[in-house]
Amino acid sequence: MATGRPTIADVAREAGVSPSTASVVFSGKAPVADATRRRVRAASDRLGYTGPDPRAASLRRGRSGVVGVVFEERLGAAFLDPVKTLMMDGLAEGVAPLGAGLLLLRDEVPASTSEPAPPAEPALSLETALVDAVVLVGASGRLAASLEILRARGIPVVVIEGDAGAGIPRIDLDNLDAQRQAAEHLRRLGHEHVAIVTLPWSGRRRRGLVAASREDDPSIDVTRERLRGAREVYPDATVFETAASLIDEGWEAGAALLRAVNPPTAVIAQSDLLAAGVIRAAEECGLRVPQDLSVTGFDGIALDGFAPYELTTLAQPAAAKGRAAADAVVRMLSGEDAASVRFSCAFRHGNTSGLRPRLD
């Protein structure tokens, strides 16, 4: 063939063997005589053959060695979250034995009617992506639609932090119990007036106090469960919703809560980043932590640049979650069915929570 790269057939011809034998030399799926192996190797060197074309191989094999990871946010936003980052790490490690790579996908909202024809190229999405399995992360709004697409395509799915319905393995945390533990910890320390700083309630992110009259629950699972856990101990706590898990958001929340007429003596933050922000805000108000204000976080991440504080928090096994998801994927791909896994958070008593300050 005049054009293009050599194919395995070229190599086979050059080596004087059949294509099947040449193929076997590369895949190692059957015994090959040493001499033959060497002949094929030599031929492929001579021709500059760099191994089987993954496209063709994956067509024939029916496997591509790629696991899709779907985020509901912009990729950049997803990686701002240390928990997700750790989880990705676990995921990457977990799929390694499978020889798979991770394909980052964003859960696009389908093109609106205003734009009829997408670009020239068909967009790579859940519908078309070349993946053996998919992990949905922090799924919420579009979850159902995504699942439907994947179910139709017959692609195995694992969901992290979200309810996917029966038959789909999910990996999550004992969010409610864990958060209740933190609240009970504060109650034991004597705190009565406690505020809760929550993660976003829904995709439509906003910031501010949640009116006591508001009866609806957060539509994001994590937020809802942690809120419930805290409310089991402090049903009447003031609740402040943030727009993202960021130190700055925690700062805003802290500033608002601590400047109120009757500031809380303790704050339950739904993430470590939020807690860090609350603590910074407290410092700026002249409050000492934990003497004047107790703060609990959630996640147990390594907070860069936060010494000497060590958050009282709930350490979640973020990397293990990723690993578990990967394991589930591996199992599903080998035909077994995978069970859901619920991880527990470990309560960690740091130096940001203490006895309720004496009332003056």
Partner DNA sequence: TCAGTCTATCGAATCGATTCGATTACGCGC
Partner DNA sequence: GCGCGTAATCGAATCGATTCGATAGACTGA
CB of 293 to a second copy, least distance (A): 17
Integer Cα distance of 325 and 343 in angstroms? 12
| Strand (E) or helix (H) holding 346 | strand 346-348
Integer Cα distance of 45 and 291 in angstroms? 72
Taking CB within 5 to 8 Å according to partner kind, which of a second copy, DNA, none is near residue 9? Answer: DNA
CB of 153 to DNA, least distance (A): 11
Place of tokens 């739904």: 270
CB of 129 to DNA, least distance (A): 14
Integer Cα distance of 271 and 235 in angstroms? 20
Map residues 226-265 to x or -, x wherever contact with DNA holds by CB under 7 A. ----------------------------------------
Tell me if 1 contacts DNA by CB under 7 A.
yes
Residues between 50 and 79 with contacts to DNA, criterion CB under 7 A: 52-53, 55-57, 59-62
Q: How large is the angle between the packed helices 34-47 and 8-15, nearest 10 degrees? A: 120
Between the two ends of the chain, the Cα-to-Cα distance in Å is: 91
Q: Which range of residues in 197-205, 219-227, 300-308, 342-350 is near a second copy by CB under 8 A?
A: 300-308
Tell me if 32 contacts DNA by CB under 7 A.
yes
Instruction: Specify the DSSP class assigned to residue 197.
Output: E
Tell me if 79 contacts a second copy by CB under 8 A.
yes
Nearer to a second copy, 74 or 259 (CB): 74
Binds a second copy by CB under 8 A, chosen from 102, 209, 243, 320: 102
Tell me if 47 contacts a second copy by CB under 8 A.
no
- The pair of three-digit structure tokens given for residue 295, joined into one six-digit string: 């703060």
Binds a second copy by CB under 8 A, chosen from 31, 33, 48, 236: 48
- The pair of three-digit structure tokens given for residue 73, joined into one six-digit string: 């946010």
| Strand (E) or helix (H) holding 9 | helix 8-15
Specify whether the CB–CB gap between 248 and 218 falls below 8 A: no
Integer Cα distance of 112 and 318 in angstroms? 36
Tell me if 176 contacts a second copy by CB under 8 A.
no
Tell me if 5 contacts DNA by CB under 7 A.
yes
Tell me if 286 contacts a second copy by CB under 8 A.
no
The b/e string for 145-173 (b: 16+ C-beta within 10 A; e otherwise) is ebbebbeeeebbbbbbbbebeeebbbbbb
Q: Which spans of this chain sit near DNA (rule: CB under 7 A)?
A: 1, 4-5, 7-9, 16-21, 23-24, 26-27, 29-33, 35-36, 49, 52-53, 55-57, 59-62
